[in-house]
Amino acid sequence: MAKTEQGNGLEMRGSTEKLTDNGKGSLYGSDTEVNGNAIPREEPVDKYGFTGGAQQNSRDSAEEIPIEVLRQREAKWLDMLNNWDKWMAKKHKKVKDRCQKGIPPSLRGRAWLYLTGGKVKREQNQGKFQELDNQPGDPKWVDIIERDLHRQFPFHEMFAARGGHGQQDLFRVLKAYTLHRPEEGYCQAQAPIAAVLLMHMPAEDAFWVLVQICEKYLPGYYSTGLEAIQLDGEILYALLRRVSPVAHRHLKRHKLEPILYMTEWFMCAFSRTLPWASVLRVWDMFLCDGVKILFRVGLVLLKCMLGSQEKLKACQGLYETMELLRAIQPQYMQERFLVHEIIELSVSERDIEKEHHTQLRSWKETRGDLHCKSPPRMHGAKAIMAAEPPSRQDLRQRPTIIVESPLAPKTDGVQAEDAKESRNANMEKQKKTNLPPQEKVNPYPPTDPSPLLEHMTLQKSKESLSSAEHDTYL
C-alpha cells in the first residue's frame, strides 16, 4: 500500500465523487441506494448489522453465548463500570479475564470508552468535540475523507446509505481528528477504526476513543512516512523467529518484507481481515491489554498459514505467499480457535519493548533518526490509567447505573455512599415534615405534589434528558 500525495495515508483508489459540496446543496443518495448500488430491502441482516460481505456472521465463525450467561456477565460489567477505578487498581486481572471472555454486546461501547481512557478525556475536555465539529476543516483533508466514506463497511446497515447518518458521523469524527491533530492530518486506515467505534457509541465518544487509540495504543501509526508501522513490522518479523522458525525462514528466503502483509492488519486492528465475531473479541482484548494483542494475532495467523513444510508446498514464491496471506483460511480466524491461540501465545509487553529497542538501534544505524517523534506507547488500559490517574468525577456515569444483584454485590464504597445518601434524605425529610405542635393542617393538599418532590422530579428529568444519548447505547 502506497502513501497518498500528502504522505499521510494509504493508496487512494475508486470513485472521486463527493458526498457533500460544502454547503452548495446535497448530493446524498436515497436510502435505497447502498453506496450507489440498489440493494433489495428484504436483504437479511445478521446480529451485527451486516447484510453481506466478508464480515457477515456465519454460524461457524461465531461463538453462541447462552442468554443466562450473558445476563450474568452484564451484571458483573455494570458493577465494574460503577466502580471502575477500584476494579482497575485492585482487581485488574479480573477485568482482563472478563475482556478475554468477551464484553457483553449491550455494554461493549461503554466498556471500550472506559478501557481506553476516552471517558476521562471527554470529561476533561467538555465542549471540545462540538467546537471542532463546528469548524469547516482543512479542504485538503475534507476532500480525501469524503471520498473514503463509502468504502467503510459498505454492507453494514449503518454505513450502507450514501450520505446516511453513519457516513455523516464518520465524516464528523475524522474531520474533528484532523483539526485536533493538524500536524498528523488524516490517514486512510483511521476510517475503519472510527467506523467500528461508531457502531458501538455516539460520535463524541468515538472521537475520544479514536484519539486514545492513535495517541496511546498506536502512536505514530498514522503519521507521515508510516515509520512506526514499519518498526512494528520488523518487531513482528523478529518475534516470528521464536514463535515459528519455519514461517520465518520462508519469509526470509523469499525476501517478503513485513510491511507488505502486516500493514492493513495492524493499522486497521484486523477490522478488515477477520470475521466480525473475531474482530470484536480481538478489540475487547486489544483495548484492555494493548498492542501485544495485535502482535499475537499476527503471529498466530502467520504460524497457522506458513508454519509447516506441508503448508509451504502451495506457496513456492513471493507472489504465492502474498496471495496465501491475503486469503487466510476460515478455520484459523474462527472466534473460539483464534481467541484460544491468542491467550496461549506467550508474547509480553517486555518482549515487544525489548525488540523495539533493538529495531530502533538498527533503524538508526541504517536510516538515521526517525523523522516523526511519537509519544511512548501505552500497553493497555492499566498503563493509561496509571499515567493519567482520573478523578472519581471523571469516571462518574451519567446516569449512574446501580446494580442490585446477588451476582454483583455492592462494594463497601457503594454501601457507604448509599448509607450517607439515605441519612441525608431522612434529615431533609424531617426538616420538611416536622411542623410546630399547633400546626395540624397539611400545607400541601394531596392533589398537589410537594415543591420538594416537584423539584427532585424536575432535576432527575433534566439529568435523564441530558444523558438520553448515552442510554441509547446501553
State residue 43's pLDDT score.
72
Q: Of 9-23, 28-42, 158-172, which has the strongest mean pLDDT?
A: 158-172
Dist. CA 230–CA 219, nearest whole Å: 12
Condensed to tens digits (0 to 9), the pLDDT of residues 206-219 reads: 999 999 999 999 99
**Grid cell for residue 192:** 475503519
Tell which residue, 179, 230, 189, 245, has the closest CA to residue 213: 189
Dist. CA 77–CA 110, nearest whole Å: 10
State residue 59's pLDDT score.
62
State residue 407's pLDDT score.
54
Dist. CA 182–CA 186, nearest whole Å: 9
State residue 56's pLDDT score.
65
Return the higher-pLDDT residue of 314 and 264.
Answer: 264
State residue 433's pLDDT score.
46
Domain spanning 225-373: CATH 3.40.50.300: no
pLDDT of 168 higher than 60: yes
DSSP single-letter state for residue 211: H
State residue 427's pLDDT score.
58
State residue 31's pLDDT score.
43
Local confidence band at 421 (pLDDT 50, 70, 90 cut-offs): low
* Phi-psi label, residue 378: left if phi above 0, alpha if psi -120 to 50, beta otherwise: beta
Asked if 1 and 263 count as a contact pair (C-beta separation under 8 A), the reply is: yes
Q: State pTM to two decimals.
A: 0.77
State residue 312's pLDDT score.
87
State residue 214's pLDDT score.
96
Condensed to tens digits (0 to 9), the pLDDT of residues 271-289 reads: 999 999 999 999 999 999 9
DSSP single-letter state for residue 217: I
Dist. CA 229–CA 211, nearest whole Å: 17
Dist. CA 162–CA 318, nearest whole Å: 38
pLDDT of 292 higher than 80: yes
State residue 305's pLDDT score.
94
